[in-house]
Each structure stands twice: as structure tokens, then as C-alpha cells.
Amino acid sequence: MTPDLQSHPRLAPGCRLGENNQQRVLLMPERALRLNGPSLEIVQRCDGKHTVQQIIGELQQIYSKAEPKKVETDILDYLARLHDQRALDFA
Amino acid sequence: MISTPSAPVNPLALIAELTHRCPLHCVYCSNPLELKNRANELTTETWARVFEEAGQAGVLQADLTGGEPLARTDIVELIRAARSAGLYVNLITSGLPLDEGRLDALIAAGLDHLQLSFQGAREEIAAEISGTKSHAQKLRVLEWLKSRRIAVTLNFVIHRRNIDQLAEMLALAESSSATRVEFANVQYYGWAFANRERLLPTRAQLDRSIETLKSAQQRLRGKIRVEYVVPDYYAKYPKPCMGGWGRKLMLVTPTGDALPCHAAQIIPGLHFENVKDRGLREIWETSAAFQKFRGEAWMQEPCRTCDRREQDFGGCRCQALLLAGDASATDPVCSLAPTRGKVNAIIAAANNTPPTESVKPDWLYRPNPA
């Protein structure tokens, strides 16, 4: 699936940020994903308030040296992957 | 001099077997044949300290299990303690000693994820396998969960008697609020080993089940994560049991013994440290039992020079003991193992007797300890 730009991604029930040996992780049933740099910036914004469009805009500013279209594609792929793992809902 | 293998930095998950008491009598229970009584169980305070030590050691997740963890009257306190130690809290339960009020208390205490175990999709098979009437209550729990914000997994243990009912199990999962469903083929230790010939599916059953589950994975993508474990007797290579001995997981028994896996106590000559006497990190790093099968020095041929030794770590030590009579042997389910013939004979026997739904097998049920 490709996330709708106007939807509001939010961590699914039972998915939350955690920390282990100074490493931020996304905790979920039976697994934990390491979060670094961009992935952490994205997940922190999956709060049900930001739209996908806003997340893309904010990350394009943070990573202003990267090609904006590439930032958008990467974010959409990452959100779709988290959704497949049932770590995200789109409202 | 042979160097001692160094311990991985920390265990990722702590499996806390809070009690062996359970209202169910499942014929494949993963608890040992010798069950511990309530009088010998760790106290609330000791478990709270263990969770604290786990959090400090870098453990991410706590699996609160049993027996039936809800049989502990202090379960709400234990969840709170695990959560405040910084752990992600999973509860693996039959859902039996539960009502809506208690469920709310568990969630308020910080429960992240509830894994509800099912013995089948129908009352009849569930009662046969668990030796008790429990299915209707599980369906009630599923209804309560729909209105609550918590991660839910349905866990179906599958075997010869229910593996042909996967479509109904999937339908049950789809009608629930679960985001994850697990189909775990029975693994043959403890009670399941004793009931093995009545549980082992045929090759045809297994092939059909994998087809069904693969297509369900596709169909439910983005809705429910469908995960499954095949019976390793039918595999070509062994499973990396527990992600490797003393590499990822630590299990603490109801009385406080720290084990590298559920069944480790069947291996003769191993001495297990107890969390009442020593800290979790110290046990992880230095306990002789955890060191015993770390690294590769203990391996025999063909494992010792095998290209796959870093993928499957020689398979399961307990299975090597049960089937080959030697805990250091190559896991006999491996097609390269000198003892694979024993597994082939077991499979051949299972496939020579077609499954009959009408005849109820003569099960050995696990008792409920005092």
C-alpha cells in the first residue's frame, strides 16, 4: 500500500518507543526495531497529529542536502513497511 | 588452552515462568514433567528485583507466562514492576481467570501485549486438548479486547488433531482485534514428547497447512501478521533453537532457576544458578550452564565444520539429548546428522497411520500442581 498524504499515521496499540544501551528502538509484539537518524525522526512524528505530508515536509527540511523526491519516496516506503508489520495505523 | 566463549552483551528477552499452576491440562504443555508447587514460587519482591535487574542489563522484553500467569494473585503488581523496570510487557495467557475488571487493571498497570492461547477454533477440540472447558471464555475475552487499546496476538498450537481446521482459526483471528496470529506447530519436549505419536501431523497435512498459511499471509497483509512455525521433524535443517544457546533469551522458572531454554533441566550434569542467590547479569555472563553450549568448541561433526553452524548453532540441545541420547550431538532433525534415521522412522510411523477425527486418542494430560 502507499500511504495517503493527508492521513495521520499513529503507532498501533502495543507499539511504542523504547531505549536500550543508548539505542532508541521501536518496541512491538515479539520484536524491536532499531531506530537511527531518519527512522527515529519519522517514528517520533507518527503521533496521530502529523499528516504524512507534514512528516515529509519536516524531514525534507532536516535533510535539506538530500534530494526532496528521494526523501519522500523513502518515507512512504518506510511507513508502508511499518504498516505491513502492523506497527502503524493511518487515521 | 580452550578459551571460554564470551557472552553476548545482554539477553534481549526474559521469559518469566511465573507459576506452573494452570487450569488447563494441555497435552503438549511446554512445562517440565515435574511441576513445581505454589509454596516454592518466587515472591512478588523477588520477581520485581529480577525485572529491575533485567532492565538494567539491557533486556527489552518480558514474557510473563506459566503455567497460567493469571493464577498469580499478584499479577497486576508484577506487570507494574516489569513495566517500571523499562521492559515491554507481554502476557501469555489462556484467558481463563479473567474478567473485564481484571483486564482493565492489567492494562492500567502497563501491559503492552496480550497473547491469548487457543487449542482450536471449536469447543470440542479445545476441550479435548486442554482437558477442560475453556473455549467459550476465550471468545468472551476476544470480545472484551475489541474495545481496549492493547496489542493482541492469537496463538494456535497446531498438530495432527487440529491442523486441518486452519481456515476456521484464521476466521476467528479476522473477527477479532488481533494484529498478529501465530500458528505454532507443537515442539516435542516434555508433555508433547510423551504424546508425540498422537500429535505429529502427516506430511500431507503439513503441506496443505503451509499452502493455506502462505496464502493467508498474502491476503491479510497490512491487517494481521500471520506467523507460523513448522514441525522441525519435517525440516531439512534444524531450527536455531532459542536463537542459539545463551545468545538471546533467558528463562526464569517459577522457583527462580535461570535457564537458557524451557527444557534445559532435562540435560544431565548441568547446574543452574538461582536468581535468589545471584544477579541476572552475573548469571548470564558466568553461569556454567549458559556457557556450556555457547560458541563452537562443544560441537561435534558434522556441525563443527558445517557452513550453517552460525545460522542454526547445531540446532536444539534438548532434542539432541532426547533423540540421540547426547546433548552435544548434532540435532537429529538435521538431514546431515548421523542420527537422522531415528527421526525418519518416527515420521514414517506417523504417516503410516492416517489421522482419524472420530477416534479420540488416549492422551496423557498434564496435572495442575498444588
pLDDT of B4 reads 61
CB contact under 8 A, A27 and B112: yes
Closest alpha carbon within chain B to A23: B58
ipTM for the predicted complex = 0.93
Report the distance separating Cα B79 and Cα B74, nearest Å. 9
Between B60, B113, B149, which is nearest A25 by CB? B60
Secondary element (H or E) of residue B118: strand B113-118
**The pLDDT value given to residue B358:** 78
Q: How far is A68 from chain B, CA to nearest CA, in Å?
A: 27
Q: What is the secondary structure of B160-175 as a DSSP string?
A: TTTGGGHHHHHHHHHT
Residues from chain A contacting residue B181 (CB–CB below 8 Å): none
CA distance B10 to chain A (A): 10
Nearest alpha carbon to residue B336 among B227, B235, B186, B202: B235
Give the pLDDT of chain B (370 residues) as one tens digit per residue.
455 667 778 899 999 999 999 999 999 999 999 999 999 999 999 999 999 999 999 999 999 999 999 999 999 999 999 999 999 999 999 999 999 999 999 999 999 999 999 999 999 999 999 999 999 999 999 999 999 999 999 999 999 999 999 999 999 999 999 999 999 999 999 999 999 999 999 999 999 999 999 999 999 999 999 999 889 999 999 999 999 999 999 999 999 999 999 999 999 999 999 999 999 999 999 999 999 999 999 999 999 999 999 999 999 999 999 999 999 999 999 999 999 999 999 999 999 988 887 788 899 999 999 8
Which residues from A are below 8 Å from B153, CB to CB?
A: 29-30
Spell out which residues of chain B touch residue A27, defining contact as CB-CB under 8 Å: 60-61, 88, 112
Strand segments, DSSP code E, in A1-91 are 9-11, 16-20, 23-28, 31-34, 88-90
B60, A18: Cβ pair inside 8 Å? yes
Q: Which pLDDT does position B1 carry in this prediction?
A: 42
Interchain proximity B225–A86, CB inside 8 Å: yes
Query: How many C-beta neighbours within 10 Å does residue B63 have?
Result: 22
Interface test with B, best of A4, A15, A30 (most B CBs within 10 A): A30
Nearest to A29 among B12, B113, B223 (CB): B113
Judge if pTM exceeds 0.80: yes
Interface test with chain A among B9, B12, B61, B242, by most A beta carbons within 10 Å: B61
Interface A:B, Cβ pairs < 8 A: 60
Return the pLDDT at B126: 96
Q: Which residues contact A42 (CB under 8 A, 6 or more apart)?
A: A55, A59, A75, A78, A79
Considering only CB atoms, A29 lies closest to which of B9, B10, B153, namely B153
CA distance A67 to chain B (A): 29
Q: What is the pLDDT of residue A43?
A: 98
Contact A27 B221 (CB under 8 A): no
- Inter-chain residue contact A27 with B149, CB threshold 8 Å: no
Comparing CB atoms, the residue among B10, B151, B222 nearest residue A84 is B222
Assigned C-alpha cell, B202: 502427516
CA A2 – CA B288 distance, rounded (Å): 51
